[in-house]
Amino acid sequence: MRLTALFRQILRESRFNFTSFNLTDRDLIEIATWNLKEYGVAQACFDNDNPTFEEEVTCLVHDYRTLLQDPFPMGFRNIPDPVPVLRVLKLKSPEQLNREEVGGCWFTDPKSLKYLMSNLDFNLTNNPVYLIKATTPLSNVDVALSLVKRRESGGENEIYLRDNGRNVTILFVDRVTPS
The Cα–Cα gap between 4 and 179 comes to 36
- 3-class SS of residue 54: helix
Distance CA 151, CA 41 (A): 13
Tens of pLDDT along 66-95?
Answer: 999 999 999 999 999 999 999 998 888 888
Radius of gyration of the chain (CA): 17
Q: What is the pLDDT of residues 22-66, one digit of tens each?
A: 999 999 999 999 888 887 756 667 666 778 888 888 989 999 999
- Per-domain boundaries in the chain: 1-179
CB 34 within 8 A of CB 15: yes
Cα–Cα distance measured from residue 56 to residue 11, given in angstroms and rounded to the nearest whole number: 23
Q: Length of the chain in residues, anyone?
A: 179
Distance CA 27, CA 23 (A): 6
Would you give the end-to-end CA distance of the chain in angstroms?
39
**Could you count the other beta carbons within 10 Å of the beta carbon of residue 177?**
8
Burial class from Cβ neighbours inside 10 Å (0-12, 13-18, 19+) for residue 157 reads buried
What band does 2 get if pLDDT is binned at 50, 70 and 90? low
Residues in contact with 44: Cβ distance below 8 Å, sequence separation at least 6, in sequence order: none
Rounded average pLDDT over 101-126? 79
Q: Is the pLDDT of residue 172 over 70?
A: yes
Output the pLDDT for position 82: 97
Is the separation of the CB atoms in 65 and 28 below 8 Å?
yes
Query: Which residue, among 143, 131, 141, has the nearest Cα to 163 in the 3D structure?
Result: 141
| Strand 129-136 to 158-160 pairing | unpaired
